[in-house]
Amino acid sequence: MRRTTVIRTGLSALLVLGTWATAGLVPAAAAPAPATTEAPASAGLLTAMQKDLGLTKSQAVARLAAEKTATAVDGKARRAAGPSYGGSWFNPDSGTLTVAVTSAGKADAVRATGAAVRLVKHSARQLDAAKAAIDALDAPAGVASWHVDPKANKVVVNVVAAEKNDNDVEAFVARARQAGPVTVVETAKAPQTFAAGTVGGDPYYTGNVRCSIGFSVYGGFVTAGHCGRAGAGVSGWDGSYIGNFQGSSFPDNDYAWVNVGSGWWTVPVVLGWGSVSDQLVRGSNEAPIGASICRSGSTTHWRCGNVLAKNETVNYAQGAVHQMTKTSVCAEGGDSGGSFISGDQAQGVTSGGWGNCSTGGETWYQPVNEILSRYGLTLHTA
């Protein structure tokens, strides 16, 4: 087994939970204590941000505080902008949230919420409509993904550089341009899911596939849909029975949930794998584009990066998956289903990507709030 004594202690109890990957949670005795004074972040989280994002400790603390403020401002600014809302993004250098609007008359109201303002031509509704039209197209393998980029005020279509001149790719791009404002960006590789064959000492198995636990919900945990079909049995790192996939969707979506029983239980914790302290989950407020984000998985453990894009359609070999969030965080086989978290807020479950944690890459996650809404689940929070 690839675990330290500390990680293994009480593991079976925890795994159930949303720990993510394998070992996972924390035994009941070590479960989250009531918080009297909520610190901005644990020392371990700050250390991870310093390592993966190249920040000093004071910069990491300041960034987390700015991101928390930006997340709160985002909803207010969206309401103030009304139909002229064109999207938003966070600038980690200035610590500010910028909101795009199509009407100069809405600028003052948006600024009053604390956001910076940029005047643009296309509203978020128009860009989303263009992307929806592209979603209806049949994408060839050389097209990696596409998403609305509020900063560019266009729909970005990512094509694999080596296949950009392929006839099918060029034809797809031509049809996409007819849908609305489109720009094409080259990417190194096509995305793939991060499931893996059975390997000893990992989080959960279904058939010959190993994946990672995402987040605890009351009654079970959420994870990636490509890890198993509804009805499939799930066992933990120690081989003991946990439960079954109660619902699963892939492609089109990439989410699932597993019920928990047989001596397993859930706790509101994400495993830090010794790189950081185990993280308490306190909610699921959505972090803006540009925010820092970290991931836990059973293969590459704890990794951090930034949110690059939202509502992206990812074109896997098995079919397109919609409404994904793209990040600069690396991942590898077996990390599928694992947790993405920003501060203490659950963000989503690992779906797939390209690259690895030696040379770098990009990873997409399925937003957790959509999973909760789809299955009527309640996130287990501290």
**Active site residues per annotation:** 226, 254, 336
Q: Is 74:85 a contact under the CB 8 Å cutoff? A: no
Nearest by Cα to 297 from 23, 9, 2: 23
Q: Is 220:379 a contact under the CB 8 Å cutoff? A: no
Angle between helices 43-53 and 57-81 (to 10 degrees): 90
Amino acid present at 43? A
Q: Is 150:124 a contact under the CB 8 Å cutoff? A: yes
The dihedral through the CA atoms of 343, 349, 350, 351 has a sign that is negative
What are the Cα distances from residue 91, in Å, to 136, 290, 292? 32, 6, 10
Residue 360: φ, ψ to 5°: 100, 175
User: What is the distance, to the nearest Å, from the Cα of residue 154 to the centroid of all Cα atoms in its chain?
Assistant: 22
The whole-angstrom separation of Cα 357 and Cα 214 is: 19
Amino acid present at 240? S
